[in-house]
Amino acid sequence: MKIEIRKPDDGELDNSGILNWSIWECEVSTFDWTYSDKETCYLLEGEVTVKTDTETVSFGAGDIVVFPSGLSCVWDVTKPVKKHYKFG
């Protein structure tokens, strides 16, 4: 299970509806998380490092991140996060 991180393509934010998804915010913190469903998110603000058993990835404002269903990880939020997100 790999975490996918990428920058949105030209027009993707407008055409995909990402900017209409729900918003989640989190202060600087560290916590365990398990994804019961696939999550796609777009970070508006913040910086995060996520560690799994097989990889450590960092991402921040302007990134689209996809977490696969069943992934267990540790989130280390180093700058407060504001993101749009969608499950499924």
Alpha helices, DSSP H only, in the chain? 12-16
Query: What pTM, to 2 d.p., does this model score?
Result: 0.95
Domain range summary for the chain, segments of one domain joined by +: 4-87
- DSSP assignment, residue 28? S
Q: How many Å apart are CA 1 and CA 13, to the nearest integer?
A: 25
Which tens digits make up the pLDDT trace of 46-70? 999 999 999 999 999 999 999 999 9
Q: How many Å apart are CA 81 and CA 44, to the nearest integer?
A: 7
Which of 86, 62, 60 is CA-nearest to residue 13?
62
Asked: is 4-87 a CATH 2.60.120.10 domain? The reply is yes
